[in-house]
Structures are given as structure tokens and as C-alpha cells.
Structure 1
Amino acid sequence: MTPEMENAFAAIRAEYGADSIARVERMLEPGGSGRHPSQKAAKWIMPGLSPTPWHDPYAYDELAPVVRALEASHRAIKEELNSAWAGRREVFSDYEHYLTRQEDWQALYLFRGGGLVAESAATAPTAYRVVKEAAVETEKICPLLECHFSTLLPGAVIDPHCDLWNFSINLHLAVDIPDGCSITVAGETRSWEEGKCLLFDYSFEHEARNLGIHPRTCLLIDLWHPETTLPERRALVALITEIRRLMGEG
């Protein structure tokens, strides 16, 4: 722990109580916390969060409004996405996962680096508005991560991997889903249903594939895990921001 982290944690404990960030502190203890075998490659596992790979998108009062807003706007979101893909391909870029970069995995960012990507408002106005109103202004989005259109080209495969931690959770709106596409999380394979959302804990090993002949696009949003608390979220932002600073990442 650096002095900056210790000071941030002390301020949170002073405001919310001595035990308010105990789970975050336990996560940092030598040996970490227990984890499911399918989470073995994740960097951080905060104890006390449901060790469940797949979640019901409507099961959490905090997240259900985001799900409803995205699904209600699916038709407009798809039309705007397809228009951008056909006429403004330059706004998409190779997706740079923290593990790798893939040319057959394209991304258009709406939220990145702790804020909305303003230039995307003209390209995908409906998705931008919904994400801004339902997830950013309500502070449901995890500011440490991002929101983007994720397009897998025909034949693309995302190899099995775990993401960094379990204190955020990944919501997918199935925007444009051709035949031959699927996602596997902790050994269970599912398919996207166009216009509907999937929600899963990406600290569990997961992989995806497009074995069809058309691009597959989902809108991905990194949301706070609904079982985390406000003081924990503040502590986690302070922690990861300081770690990234020390690593020269910003």
C-alpha cells in the first residue's frame, strides 16, 4: 500500500465506518481470497460476491433500468450501428484487450478512460444517450473500464481467458446476431438473442466465437457488480487508479 492508497482508504473508513471496506482490504491480503477454479487467472477476487458465472439481467434492482433502457432502444441502436459500419468504418478500431489485440475483433467506444467518448455521440446517438443517462449519470458504469460496440468478424474466435477482477460485471446487449455465434462462460455455452441482454461475471474463464458469415455485434458495458457497496467502489477506484499510475498507465 502506498501512502496515497492508505490515505484514501482512511478517508473512506472515516466517512463510512471502520468495516466499510473490509472486503477490499481482505482482497489485498497475502494469498488473496478463495476463488472458483474457473477464476484462477483473474488478478483480483473480492470476497463476498456471489461466485456465479451467469446472472439474470433483471435480477438486480440497480441494473434492471439499464437493461430495460437498452432493450427498448435496440431497433434504433442497431440501425445506427449498421449505418456506421457501412459508411464510417474508420470510426471502428482493432479491439485492444489487456491480453492481446485482434484485427478480427472491432470496437467503437462510447465510454473509455473514465469518461464518455464525445465524438461517438454523432455516430451512435441512441446508444450514447442511453448509456449516458442510464449508466453514466447514475454511476452504475464502472469508471475503471469501458463501454463499446464489440464486433466479431466472420470466423473470429476470442480465446478462453479471465478478465482482471470480479467487482465489475459485463452486460451485453445483443445488437446484430447472425447464426453461428456463441459465448461460453465457466464451461456453459449460450447464444445471444438479438435485442436482449446477457449478464455475466467475466472473472470466470470465458470465450466467444463467430462461426457465421456475417459480423456479430454486441454493445458491452462494464457495470459495477451490484453486490458491491458505495464505499467499496470508492476504495476500488482509488486502488486501481494508483496501481495504474505506478505502472505508468495514466
Structure 2
Amino acid sequence: MTPEIEAAFERIRRSHGSGSTDRVEEMLYGSGQHRHPLQKDAKWILPGISPRPWHDPHEHAEIAPVVRTFEAAHPAIKEELNAAWEARRQEFADYEHYLMRQQNWQALYLFKSGRLVPESAELAPTAMRVFSKEVVETGKHCPLLEAHFSTLLPGASIAPHCDLWNFSINLHLAIDIPEGCGIRVADETREWKEGECLLFDYSFEHEAWNHGTRPRSCLLVDLWHPETTLAEREALTLVVTEIRRLTA
């Protein structure tokens, strides 16, 4: 760690307790053995996080209100997204995953590069309102990542991969789902049900596909894993931000 990060960790320990950053430091300096085989390609695994690929979207007290609000807003969100897709298609971009870029995987961002994308509020006002109020303002969003509408075109697939870490968790609100779509996380395959959410740990190997005849759209929101503490979230944000600055 840089001297600046070490000083910041010391401030966190003074505020939250002497052991409040232990798991983060073990993640950075430990042996790296705290992982399931299907997390082998993830960059960082925070020790002590339950190695569960799939979660019930309603089981976590912190996340359940977000799920309920998004699901209740689904009809308006779908109507606004479909209107944007028809009239403002140029606002959607090829999704730039850290491992790949796909023209048949389109994205409209609500949050990117550490900030809200205000231009998207005009296109998706309901989703932006719910996301801002229920996720950002409550501190549940992992600001190191994104929130975006993910649209897979017919015939598109996302190759099996692990995402970067296990200390955030991925929420999918199923917006518009044709037949022939699915997602596999670890050893279990599921289908999206329109208007409902899926929640999974994307440090596990996962893949998705659209074998249907029209686009498949979901809203993807990166939340802090509910088994992380406030101190750890602060420390992880500092560490990853500094690593990105040094490697830019």
C-alpha cells in the first residue's frame, strides 16, 4: 500500500475499531486460498464472504427494499427503456467489459466512472430516480462499478468468465425477456422472469445468452455485498481507486 492508503487505513481503524480492516489487508497480502474453484479467475476474494453463487433477492435486509422498489417500478421502467431503444438507439453503446467489448451487447448507463450519468435521466427517468434514491443515496451501490441497462441482441452470448471480486454483488432486474434466454452462475442455470430480480455473486464463473428473436434487456446494479462492513467498504474503495490511479 502507498503511504496515503496506509494513513487512510489507520484513520478507518481509529473510527471503526482496530480490526476493522483486517479482512481487506488479508485479501491484499494473504495467500489467496480463500476461494471456491469456480472463483479461480477473480482478481480479489475478500475472506469470510459466504461462497454462495446465487442469493435470494429478498433474503438480505439491506437489499430487499431495493428489490421491492425496482420490481414495483418495472412497468414504467420497461416502457421508458423500450421508447429509448426505438427513438434514441444512438445513446446505447457497445458494452465495454473489462475482459471484452461486444457490439451485440448494448448498454445504457445510469452510473459509470464513479458518477451518475445525468443524460440518462431523460431516457430512463424512473430507473434513474429509483437507483439514485434507493441505491446511491443509501450507500448500497458499489461506486467502483456501474449501473446500466444491459441489452443482448438476438443470437448474442457472453462467454464464461469471472468478474473481478466478491465484495460486491450483482442485481439484475429483468426488463424485457424473450424466450430462449438464460444465465449460468457456477453450476446452476436460471432464466430471468420479467419484472423480477436475480441476485448473484459474479466472482463465480458465469455466462449468459439470448437464443431468442428479439433483444433481451435487464437493469444491472452493482451493490456492496451484504456481508461487508461499512469500514471495509470505505477501505476497499480507497484501495481500488488508488490501484486504478497508479495503473492508469
- More deviation in 102-111 or 18-27? 18-27
Partner of 2:238: 238
Offset of 1:14 from its aligned partner?
1.2
What is the distance in 2 between the residues matched to 1:15 and 1:125? 37
What is the distance in 1 between the residues matched to 2:18 and 2:172? 36
Question: Given that residues 4 and 242 in structure 1 are in contact (C-alpha distance below 8 angstroms), is that contact kept between their aligned partners in structure 2?
Answer: no
Question: Given that residues 27 and 33 in structure 1 are in contact (C-alpha distance below 8 angstroms), is that contact kept between their aligned partners in structure 2?
Answer: no
The amino acid of 2:219's aligned partner reads L
Partner of 2:204, secondary structure, is coil
TM-score (norm 1): 0.98
The amino acid of 1:223's aligned partner reads L
What is the distance in 2 between the residues matched to 1:88 and 1:179? 25
The amino acid of 1:104's aligned partner reads N
The amino acid of 2:211's aligned partner reads L
Alignment of 1:134-213 (within 5 A): 134-213=134-213
What is the distance in 1 between the residues matched to 2:34 and 2:231? 22
Partner of 1:11: 11
Partner of 1:84: 84
What is the distance in 1 between the residues matched to 2:130 and 2:17? 35
Alignment of 1:40-51 (within 5 A): 40-51=40-51
TM-score (norm 2): 0.99
Partner of 2:213, secondary structure, is coil
The amino acid of 1:144's aligned partner reads L
Question: Given that residues 166 and 201 in structure 1 are in contact (C-alpha distance below 8 angstroms), is that contact kept between their aligned partners in structure 2?
Answer: yes
Partner of 2:123: 123
Q: RMSD in angstroms over aligned alpha carbons? A: 0.7
Offset of 1:165 from its aligned partner?
0.2
Partner of 1:28, secondary structure, is helix
The amino acid of 1:241's aligned partner reads T
Question: Displaced runs of 4+ in structure 1, greater than 3 A?
Answer: none
Which consecutive unaligned segments of at least 5 residues does structure 1 have?
A: none
Once the two structures are superposed, residues 5-63 of structure 1 have per-residue CA deviations (whole angstroms, 9 ceiling, x without a partner) of 11111110111111011111110124224100000000000000110000000000000
* Aligned residues between the structures: 248
Partner of 2:21: 21
Partner of 1:75: 75
Which consecutive unaligned segments of at least 5 residues does structure 2 have?
A: none
- More deviation in 81-90 or 109-118? 109-118
